[in-house]
Structure 1
Amino acid sequence: MRFSLNRLFKNSSNKSVATFIIGMLAIGILLYSGLMFIIVRLNLNGGLTDYFSKSMEDKATIVREEMLFSLTEAENTAKWIQQYFADSYEEIGYERATMNGLATYAKEFFDAKNIVFFNKWGMQISSPKYGVVPKTPKIRSALEGEETVMFERAGDIIFGTVILPLKSNDEIFGVVEIRVPVSNDELLKTVPQYTGCEFAIFSDDIVTMTTLEALQDSTITNPEYLESSKAGNPVIVAEELDGQKYLSYYFPFNDQNGEYLTTILIAQKLDIVTSVASKIFTPFFGAILLFTILLLVGFTLLIQWKVRKPLAKVHKAVANLSSGDADLTVRLNENGGDEFARLCAEVNKFIAMLQQIIIDLNYSQRTLQVVSENLGTNAQSSASATAQILANIESVRKQTMSQTKAVTNTTNVLEKSAQSMDILTDMIGRQSDGISNSSAAIEEMLGNISAVSASSHKMAETFKQLEGTVDNGNTKLARLTEKVNQIAEESEMLMQANSMISRIASETNLLAMNAAIEAAHAGDAGKGFSVVAEEIRKLAENSAVQSKNITSELKEISNSIQDVVDLSRDSQSAFVDIVEQISSTDRIINEIDNSMSEQEIASRQVFDSLAGMKNQSQEVSDKGLEVSRSILAVTQDMTSVNQISNTIQGSMDEMSTGMQLIGDGTQGVSELASRTKDSVEDMSGKLGQFKV
């Protein structure tokens, strides 16, 4: 406290708290005035900007209403046409001349860009000079009774489109579509008149229509304004347009469904805002400046009278307390009811409290001297007890470490056992999968064996049929051989007959007829003889020559017949071999059939055995899982035991550390007791300086 008071009142002749307070107060008032000036200026500008911003929103509403007015006019025109046809359709029909007259009226009085009539099939039937519109889904919807009134954008122009069905006696016979440009020159004239603002319409980032000629067909320098407007967030900003400052308002223009069509700009010059702010702010600034000067002078005089003089008295009284031989019986004057009187009263209380503290310290000093002597003796006893406790804790800690190692080894063994059981379980699982695959393969093989056995049965039956067919062919071949032998014998008879013909060639016509009969018995080979018999009367003289020729031919025929006989015998021998081979093959097929039956029985036995092995593997796998779960439970218990052992060991380490700290503390207490004794003696000398 004495040091702080010295710091506070040191060099009071050169440094004054009152002067400091006056200076700080002056700075505060100036800062406050400046802050008020800035706040008022900002609030004034902000308020004016907010006012004009709200005004800009209202003017944007006027622009929308003007564009909506054009759409409403088009809608009224379309409804008038709709009602006109509803009332007059039965009298005037749906003639092209009537439609052209209505279209001319709409274009002249409503500035309609397009006015188109469609029939009930959606085909345009009005004159193309009044507009051409392709068949759209809106036309089809109108033919179903739906009315469309909307804004739409085509190129750089915003149109108001009205599509209404035409009815007579609730039956739709056509559609009328009116299309009016709402972003037109008329809009450029009316918007400045009604709002007092400049006006512009954008197509993407290009100005397509504006009252500021310098901006026509120019590209916006801040495309983020358009992006914000497209996202549905209007933008109000102060910017320079055509060399002048404007308060610009960018806002989106959407259709009836809320779909973005384009961005519209209205801009008002900022000179009106600056003029209003200057007229309000200039007198306000002068009033604040005058008030600040008067306030500073008044506060300076007041502080001089109410602060500096009382502070001088307090300084003199407190200087006594900061001296080396302070007189604690001295008290300050407490007259007056202001803060300095209360300060003097509090200082007097402090002096009285300090006086009592010095008295109490003198008593405590004597008591503390006795306690410090006892504390040194007790500290030595505590140090001996602490050393014995440390030895016991170290012994317990070593036993705990041994137990922890044993638990850790047991846990490792259990973990290896668990890993072995996992490997065994995995091997059993793979074995079970292998058995399942083998069972599936054997089951498939059984199906193949059954198919092969069935095929063997069919083949055996086929070979039996083939054997019968071969036997039948062999029988027919034997008959053929007999026939050929008969033909050979008959050819011998023909040889004899030809000899006879040669001898009786000169006989009569009756003998020739007999020769013809014999030739007929010879079949095809005797056709030549039949012809000879017919001509024998005329060619008797040539019969001998022809008889020789016939003899030669018959010899060749006899040789051919002999070859046929030999071939028939060879074929018959071949058929006998075929029958023997078929019989041998039939026996082999029967053996295959028997083998396949035996293999099917054996495979079924293997399949049944594999099924048993699969069930046994599943039982082994289940037992292995139970053993794994048991090992896991034991491992978890051993982990818990290990954690408990580690906790105990950690606690013992903490106890050991704590006891070491206690030992160090005991030693420190002993040293502190000695130092306390010295401090008590020093404090006794210091307290003797105060007069109590």
Structure 2
Amino acid sequence: MSQAPIFLYAGLTSFRQEFYSTGNRKVSARGSRMRLDIRQKLFILVFLPVLTLLFLQGNFLLGKWKDLRVYRSQRWNIELMGKTALLITELQKERGLSSKFVGSGSGKGTLEDQRKAVDSAYQELAPYVEKATYIKQDKLYYQKQISDLRTQIDRGAFKSPKDVIDGYTPVIRSLLEISNIAVNQKTVGGIGKVMGSVGILQEAQEGAARFRGLMSGIVSSGQTVTDRTLLFGLIRDFEQIEINLQSPALIYVGDMKSVIGNLLSGTDYEQLKDALLEVVARSTLQGAGTTTYRISADQLWNIGTRIVEILNKLVQDTLSILDAQSRRIERTYSVEVWGAVGYSGVLLVVLVLLGYSFARSIRNPILKVTHTFRTIAEGSGDLSEEVVVTDRGELAELARDFNRFTSVLSDLIRGIRQETETLRRVGQELQEGMAKTAVSTKQIASTLEEIRNNIMHQAASVTESSATLENFLLRLNELKGLIETQSAAVTESNSSIYQMLETIKKVQGSLTESNRQIEELVQVADKGKRRLLPLIEQIRTITDQSKMLQEANSLIAGIAARTNLLAMNAAIEAAHAGEHGRGFAVVAEEIRKLAENAADHSKSIAGNLKNIQQVINQVVESSRMVQDSFDAINTGIMRMNDNRKVLEIAMTEQGQASKEVQIALEDITKVTSKVNQFASEIELGSKEINQEMKNLMRITEEVKTAIQEANSALQEISGATLRISTLSDENRKSIESIYSRFAAFKLKGE
């Protein structure tokens, strides 16, 4: 039974060596031809078409993405044109108001408001100017140009409205050039032509704005035009309106055509034309000099402003339509692009999953067979596992042959394992019997050793106890003397504690009187603080009233300033009226003097109120400091009261503790008397115990000698048991080695 498993194990080992040597020769023979394993080949087979699809779809998506960028760029250009058109409109209005201001000297306030509107519009355009790479000027160019023009106008550097128009026009033309450059950028969807129409409308708006500014300045000055260039410029600007609005390149969007038709045939346009004819006729026939035009500068300005606003509205409406159309196209294109991305992603996932599934169905059976052969060759393996292939090809035939081979091998190994199991069980029982014998021997030896140690400890303990008992008797005599001394000390302590209790009662009476005085002090401090609060509130009321007086004085000063300004305006009007306005001039002078007198008194009152306010502030600060002092006094009193309470509690506790100590000392006196009696009794019993300890030491020596003889005999038995256990262990290891080699295989049916 023991030789059959060894023979079969040797046969399997030989088979394993032959399998490995044959496999290595085959691999080395094919190494130069087979450089890719089956997983790499399947990977190439699956992912080559996937990569081709990714390349084609990537090119398609790249083209779509470029188109989408163009859509976004043209929408950004539309927004840039809208911000530019807004700034141009506001700047044109500032140009016209500046022209009127230079021509007539009036309208400064309106001009300042318009400048703020221009600055606001420029702040909206500035971020677009920074980002636009095709704009050569930086963001400070326009701001500096406009600032320089405003400075020259405020200093009176421009002598005529035409100079103002000519100063602003290059800046506006530069802004129009930005719109033209934006129009020439790449566009798609037919939006570029409509953006070109916006440029035409802006040119018409510029002509109308220039005409409005020049004509308003000329009419407000009341002078004829002697400069032929200026006359031709007026005519050119007016014709520019109609030429651009009737341009064949203009593409109509929405109701643009009807609005332009109504504008050219409307009353405002005809009035502008009549005003132009009047200026040309008077300037040509009368020559240089003053004149009075049928239309006022304000009427002309309002008519021109309405036309400019109509053209600006057309520009903004067209840009809004273009922006909405561009956003709609961009959204549609974005949906198409992301739809294509989603479709490509889904298709890619499907192809990868299908390829992975096919490769797995081919590779897994081969890997299972390879893995099982490898584990068998290495001496371990799962022979219960069968390769399952659903198709009917070569892989299925290979799987069936492999399953039959593992079934035969599994039956062979199962028989070997059964025989080995019998040998292992017999060896295990023998080893367990010897182990029990060895354990019993060790337990007996351990018990004897423990008894011997206990006897040794007992002998030492008896000796030590005897010496201790002798020492105890000596100490007991000393204890009796100490107890008598203690009794006398307790009597003296009891008398001292009684005196301390009397002292504590006196301290508690003093603390009660201090408590009453502290409470009276707290009441006095509270009364002082309450009397101070109404005074602080009245001072605050005076402060508020003084602030109201300052506000009233400021109002009087403002009224005096405005009265003085009205007096100056009345004096100017009286000067314009000549002789008829002398009486009005005298009244205006008196009003001005009255206003100056009121202003001087207002300044004096303001100074006095300021001094009063300073005094009130000092009183408020002093009141606050007094209130803080009362708060500090209250805080100190409360802290002192808290400390007194703590001291009172401590004295109460000390009195109680002293009483308890007195009671304890009385108990100690009683106990000391009893202890002295017990000490006498213990001394008598200790002498009897000392005699018995000597008898115990003699018996312990006799037992220790008997244990040493039994321990020598047990050592001989333990040596024989150890030799038998060693032989049994070697036999068990040999059986376990054979069994473990075959137990590594998992057989069918397990």
Which interval holds the TM-score relative to the shorter structure? under 0.3
Larger strand percent: 1
Q: Which has the higher contact order (CA 8 A, sep 6+)?
A: 2
* TM-score when normalising by structure 2: 0.21
Q: Name the larger-Rg structure.
A: 1
* TM-score when normalising by structure 1: 0.22
Larger helix percent: 2
